[in-house]
Homo-oligomer: A and B are copies of this chain.
Amino acid sequence: MSVNSPVSPARPYYVPVANEKQVFKAACRQGLSVVLKGPTGCGKTRFVEAMAYDLKRPLVTVACHDDLTTADLVGRFLLRGGETEWVDGPLTRAVREGAICYLDEVVEARQDTTVVLHPLADHRRQLPIERLGVTLDAAPGFCLVVSYNPGYQSVLKDLKDSTRQRMVAIEFGFPAPDVEEKILATEAAIDHERAAELVRLGQAIRRLETGGLREVASTRVLIAAGRLIAEGLTPRDAARAAIAGPLTDDSAVTRGLVEMIDAYVDDQSSLDD
């Protein structure tokens, strides 16, 4: 499934952490592909949205999965009114329009999907479309971006070296506390004190080194907690629902997280239905 975004009217909210903007833009100017490495919910999608805005390129996003085929990316013939009609896939559209094509969680895709990227990702910048018998040259501005979460990789699911070595890598982590606080306050529309409290909780959880946790608390779950608070839930109820619940199913670990929530989060509001 892909999402096509024309150049958006307002710059998406994104605060850079390191030199990620410089690396991304240098790679794009050189026609090099980019791999974004980092945990879920740390802002990779937002970063690509912001870069697309800065570079004035349309953005095509594809969420990768096990059953994503080459045809899903490149296109296929469909029967319409008795006629077969070629319908471009999202990758082909991006190649024709010189868009940024963002393949989210690319290692989830089947290998044929990543191999089809090779001639696009190296000096050739070409997309061969076997079914049409044509080979497209990528329009100027086309940039291939993939993301993956190194923590997930297994022997079975990994990016091949011949794919990796065709890309420039940018590593992502969670933003610094002051940046994350600003993001929370903005995205959840809560006051800065409350946002700071949630960020301190998030950082305490991140220091746990995932003992029993599946993953650490992402910026995304902190924002969700903030939004539940903005809706009138008590901060502790909000943090339990948006932070503890998604992070674990284990009752002992849940108790530990609830204690942390109680320690870090002041409770003062309540809500009746």
Which residue numbers of A lie inside 8 Å of B, CB to CB? 1-4, 19, 21-23, 25-27, 29-30, 32, 35, 37, 40-41, 45, 61, 63-70, 72, 74, 77-84, 87, 89-90, 104-105, 108, 110-112, 115-116, 118-119, 122-124, 126-131, 133, 135, 149-150, 152-153, 161-162, 164-171, 187, 214-215, 218, 220-221, 224, 227-228, 230-233, 237-238, 241-242, 244-247, 249, 271-273
Contact = CB atoms under 8 A, between A and B. Distances in A.
B23 A111 contact: no
A215 B116 contact: no
Contact of A40 (B110, B133, B162, B232): B162
Given A19-B237, A35-B246, A122-B220, 7 more contacts: A1-B130, A3-B124, A30-B230, A63-B116, A66-B112, A168-B245, A169-B244
Q: Is the interface of A mostly helix, strand, loop or mixed?
A: mixed
A224 B34 CA distance: 11
A228 B26 contact: yes
B245 A171 contact: yes
Task: Please state the number of chain copies in the assembly.
Answer: 6
Contacts of A78: 77, 84, 131
B30 A227 contact: yes
A30 B231 contact: yes
Contacts of A237: 19, 22-23
Contacts of A25: 273
A15 to B, nearest CB: 13
Nearest to A220: B165
Given A3-B126, A25-B273, A84-B79, A66 B168 contact: no
22 contacts: A1-B74, A2-B128, A19-B237, A22-B272, A22-B273, A23-B233, A23-B237, A27-B231, A27-B241, A29-B231, A30-B227, A35-B246, A63-B118, A66-B111, A67-B111, A68-B112, A81-B84, A82-B82, A104-B118, A149-B162, A168-B228, A168-B245
B249 A150 contact: yes
Contacts of A87: 131, 133
Given A26-B271, A40-B161, A1 B68 contact: no
Contacts of A170: 241, 245
A66 to B, nearest CB: 5
A135 B90 CA distance: 12
Given A26-B228, A170-B245, A108 B111 contact: yes
A220 B26 contact: no
